[in-house]
Each structure stands twice: as structure tokens, then as C-alpha cells.
Amino acid sequence: MTIQETEQKIVDEFSAFDDWLDKYNLLIEMGKDLPLIDARYKTNNHLISGCQSRVWLHAELADDGKVYFTADSDAVITKGIVNLLIRVFSGRTPDEVLTADMAFIDKIGLREHLSPTRSNGLISMVKQIKLYAQVYKLKMNN
Amino acid sequence: MPAQTVFKAEMVRADFPALQQQVFNRPLVYLDNAATTQKPQVVIDRVRDWYEHENCNIHRGVHHLSQLATEAFEGARQYIAGLLNAKHSHEIIFTRGTTESINLVASSFGNKFINQGDHVLISGMEHHSNLVPWQQLCLSKGAILDIIDITSEGEIDLNHYEQLLAENPKIVAITHLSNVLGTINPVEEMIRMAHIRDIPVLLDAAQSVAHLRIDLQKLDCDFFVFSGHKAYAPMGVGVLYGKEEWLNKMPPYQFGGEMVDNVHFEQTVFNELPFRFEAGTPNVGAVLGLESALRYLHSFGIENILHYEDQLLHYAIKRMESTGKIRFIGRPKNHAAVISFLVGDTHPYDAGTIMDKLGVAVRTGHHCAQPLIDLFNVPGTIRASFGMYNTYEEVDILIGAIERADAMLA
Ligand SMILES: Cc1ncc(COP(=O)(O)O)c(C=O)c1O
């Protein structure tokens, strides 16, 4: 699936629900499937700042030239949100990650989480994901 | 006599337009009053009236409007001085809010009276606004910031306070009412203890003015600061009360218009109190709104409101206890209408997010008091803070939201 296809799939999953609580129930469920970060990476170095809940994020560039993300959070809704991002961005080339926009977040009604002050730090997570991609892109070109 | 009448939220709810709305198709249950309160129609009207009919700059024009406006502005100062029982109305200085008032004192008093090796004393439950200005002052002066311990109940450890007073700090700055725990600190006793050693005391009254009767001469604090917006008044205005003896010894904080008496290119003679500390055009509309908010609040008798809020608080605590799922952060004996808690083992952010979707506006996080939250060894808290318009039904909705969040997150 392309990034666009994955995003559309997520939008479809959320559009099945009208009620906010059902959408959050879905997020909580998604949090349980989060590809968990290896314990040795769950350190302050991997902590994303700007979040009311703590989020640890790790990235690896595999031999296939794609970036794979793992993460964890101490809040389950945040885990769900991180997992959405990982579904969209993990297993992509650095270029794909760098060019993707975040319109799907708006479409599933999580736009409030995009405001710069929103305490779960979705913006910070996206920034960090793109930063990893940027670094790996430079590495690959060297 | 107001002290005999019974106050109920239902008497005032209709006065607050913002409370009449729905969020996520549910009636808004506004329990974030410690962050800011909603405004009654009289206050909104007062500010609108100012801009529609009275607006002009004060203290400077000889024209009719300017004189009326100056009278209204100075009238607000006198009203507030009288309400809080200050000795002189020129001890009331208008600022942008609590934060600016504390920065003014830390900067002006600090520069004059605090030197290398001196001590400054605050408590472990201060809002960042009553911590960072003192911390930065101490860092720049090479002074020492001492912190009074907080007990596990969320109260100031008075024995530790006594010990730290022996260091003869140049000033004590403490919160009257904790924005996180709801603790009403024994400030009268603490002021007395400091004054035995001639140490001045600043009270951060950001949270107390909306709930408690304030008698500045009885309290005898040296500085007293608050924000209008936490007491049903507009944002952008606050008060610094300082005893005349102190204010007269302190250098101006900002320089510019209105605070000067006589300006030459070489030197300037500063104006007298209170103008010396009010540089530039003040937020006149908000000052008038502040007067009108305090008049409104006190028209019901503040003791009556406090009594009502106290009963509401205890109803809320009892209902929360009976869910068997609540972990209270701080259980102070002298407790105002602020509750910090966690729902079971869930993260405050998770529970708060779900409660928000149920129309219940609570605050989650560290509430600008990170060191205090760290003391309790939690990632943050959920805070429900009540105001004069909150009802028993809203407490029931809060409990329902807690149960629902718990069920979804368990
Ligand atoms: C105890 C306390 N002090 C200071 C402040 C800062 O007030 P302001 O932001 O209005 O300056 C607050 C507001 O949250 C507070 O609760």
C-alpha cells in the first residue's frame, strides 16, 4: 500500500463511527497493536519533548532502504495516535516519509491534536519522524 | 444580612453566557475555573460600555471624556482598596496579572534589597509564576532560593518553614491557595512568624480572591498579587498591592509615560504612588471590568459562596471516593474547591481526553507547578476546579465521565 492508500484506509476505519467516544475506543484499540520499542531504546534520548504523556520513538534504516519505526507511550490514547503515524510512515523510504502530508489527521477528526500547543505533541512526533527520515536520507546519499 | 442568605449556583448560572453552550453535543460542564473563570454578563457589558461610550486615554486630557474616564479608573482603584481593606488606595497598583505583579516585585524589590549570599524563601507548591522570577533573581544575584517542604497531605511543613526562616531570608513568597491541590495555606500564621524576624511576605493570591474574604490590614502581608480573570473579570488586568513603606522604597519597574513627574533629557523625576509603577496606558476597560466583577461576586456575600463551594467540594469528594477508583493527590485539611486526582492507574492525559469528549472541561498535566507534581511522583494530575456557578448535577456528570473513562481505559 502506498502512503495515500494507508491514509485512506485509516480514514475509512474512523468514518465508520459518528460518536467521538467510539473513535477514541478505536484509537485505544490501535494503541494495543503498536510495534513496541526495544527496551534498550526506551531512554531519555528517545523521548519526544512537547508531550504531556511520554513518547519514546526509535527508527532504523533497514537493508531494503526503508525506515522502520517502533515506539511506546505511557498513555494509551497517545499510543493509538503514534500507531497511526507508524502505520503511515513505517516501511517507507526516507523520501516518501519526507514528502507525505498529514491531511488524514484532519479527515479523521483529530485535527485538534495538530495545534502546536496540544499536549500530546502529535506535531513533535511528526517532526521527529521526519527528522529521522532526513538523517537517513543524508546517510544514504553519502 | 448576606451572611444569612443561602447561595446556590442556580441563582447565577443564567448570568454567564459561555456556560449555556454545548460541546460535542453535550452541555458544557466547565470545571477549569482555576485556569480562568467565565464572565458574567454585567462584566461583559461593562467592558463593551467602556468602548462604546467612554473610551479615551486617562490622566492626560483636560477634555470631558478624559476626566470621566480618569474618575472611573481611579474609582475602581478605590473600590478595590476598600473591598480588600488596604490602608491606602495608592497601595493598589494595576498590572497585567499575577505573573507581572510578581515579576515587578522580584525585579524592583529584588534589585534593591537582595544581594549575593542572601536567601529568598518560597514553598514547594508554588506556581511557576511564583517560582521562576525568584529563581532567576537568585541566579543573577548569587542569592539562595530556599524551598519549604510539602507534606504528603499537600500542606506546607510549618516546622521546616520555621527552620528556613532562621536563615533570615530577605522575602517570603508563598501561595495563598494552591492551584493544584486546593490547599488554603495558614498564611496569617506564616506572616506572623516572618514578621517576628522583620521579614516581608508576598502572597500569591491568584486563586484566593474568587473564593475567600480578603482583609489586607488583618492579614498584614507586605505584598498581595492576583489576576482579574480568575475572579470572573476580564483577562489582561491584575493587581499588585504593596504596603506604602515598601513601595516607596522600591525603584520603578518599567519606564515611560504616566509614571514620570518631570522629564529632561538628562534626568527624570518619577511620579508618586501608584503611578510610579504604572508605566504606559493601562487596560482601562479591563480595570472597570474587574471592579464590576468584584462587585458582582461580593453582591452575594463571598462567605455564602464559599460555604456553597465547600459543600459542593465535599459532595464531589464523597462521590469520587464512592467510585473506588480515585487516587487523590493531596488531601489538605483546609481545602478550597480544587481537586487533583488520578483515575485508577490510567494516565491523566487519557482520562482527561475522554472526559473532554463527554463535555467535562478539566485540566490535565502539571498545572504550571512541575516541581510539586514531581514530589508526588506522578506524570501529572487531572484537576477539577469549581466556581460559583457549578452545580451538584455537574458533579454527577463529572462522576459519570470518570466512570466512563475508567471503563474505556481499563
Ligand atoms: C497560584 C497561581 N499563581 C500564579 C498564576 C499566574 O496567573 P496569571 O497567568 O494570570 O498571571 C496562577 C494561574 O494559573 C496561579 O494559579
**For residue range A77-105, what is the model confidence (pLDDT) as tens digits?**
989 999 999 999 999 999 999 998 888 88
Q: Looking at residues B284-301, what average pLDDT do you find? A: 98
Contact yes or no for A53/A78 (Cβ under 8 A): yes
Query: How far does the CA of residue B350 sit from the closest CA of chain A (Å)?
Result: 6
User: B217-241 b/e with 16+ CB inside 10 Å = b?
Assistant: eebebbbbbbbbbbbbbbbbbbbbb
> Which grid coordinates belong to A124?
513533535
Of A20, A24, A53, the CB nearest to B347: A53
Q: What is the pLDDT of residue B4?
A: 57
Q: In whole angstroms, what is the distance from residue B125 CA to residue B128 CA?
A: 9
Task: Evaluate whether B320 touches B403 at the Cβ level (below 8 Å).
Answer: no
Residue B1: per-residue pLDDT? 45
**Residues B103, B105, B108, B109: is their CA dihedral positive or negative?**
negative
Between strands B338-343 and B381-385, the pairing is: antiparallel
Q: How far is CA B394 from the centre of its chain?
A: 24
Q: Is B48 helix (H, G, I), strand (E, B) or coil?
A: helix
Query: pLDDT of chain A along its 142 residues, tens only?
Result: 899 999 999 999 999 998 888 999 999 999 999 999 999 999 999 998 767 788 999 999 999 999 999 999 999 998 999 999 999 999 999 999 999 888 888 888 777 665 555 555 788 888 899 999 999 999 888 7
ipTM: 0.88
* Chain B nearest C-alpha distance from A78 (Å): 8
CA quadruple B240, B242, B248, B249: dihedral sign: negative
Tell me the domains of chain B and their CATH numbers: 2-39+301-409 (3.90.1150.10), 44-298 (3.40.640.10)
Of all residues in chain B, what percent carry a pLDDT higher than 90?
Answer: 91
**Contact state of A52 with B364 under an 8 Å Cβ cutoff:** yes
Whether residue B408 lies within 8 A of chain A, CB to CB, comes out as yes
B129 close to ligand 1 (CB < 6 Angstrom): yes
The reply to whether A16 touches chain B by the CB within 8 Å rule is no
pLDDT of B87 strictly over 50: yes
- pLDDT (average), residues B358-386: 94
Nearest-CA distance from A135 to chain B in Å?
A: 31
**Residue among B179, B232, B237, B367 to mutate when testing ligand 1 (max atoms within 8 A of CB):** B179
pLDDT at residue B106 greater than cutoff 60: yes
B positions 137-156 inside 8 Å of A (CB): none
Give distance in angstroms: CA of B188 to centre of ligand 1.
21
Identify the burial level of B189 via C-beta atoms within 10 angstroms of its C-beta, where 0-12 means exposed, 13-18 middle and 19 or more buried: exposed
Pocket test of ligand 1: the residue of B98, B128, B230 to mutate, having most ligand atoms within 8 Å of its CB, is: B98
* Domains of chain A and CATH, by start: 3-141 (3.90.1010.10)
With 80 as the cut, is the pLDDT of residue B100 above it? yes
Instruction: Judge whether B400 is closer than 8 Å to chain A, CB to CB.
Output: no
Ligand 1: centre distance to CA B385 (Å): 14
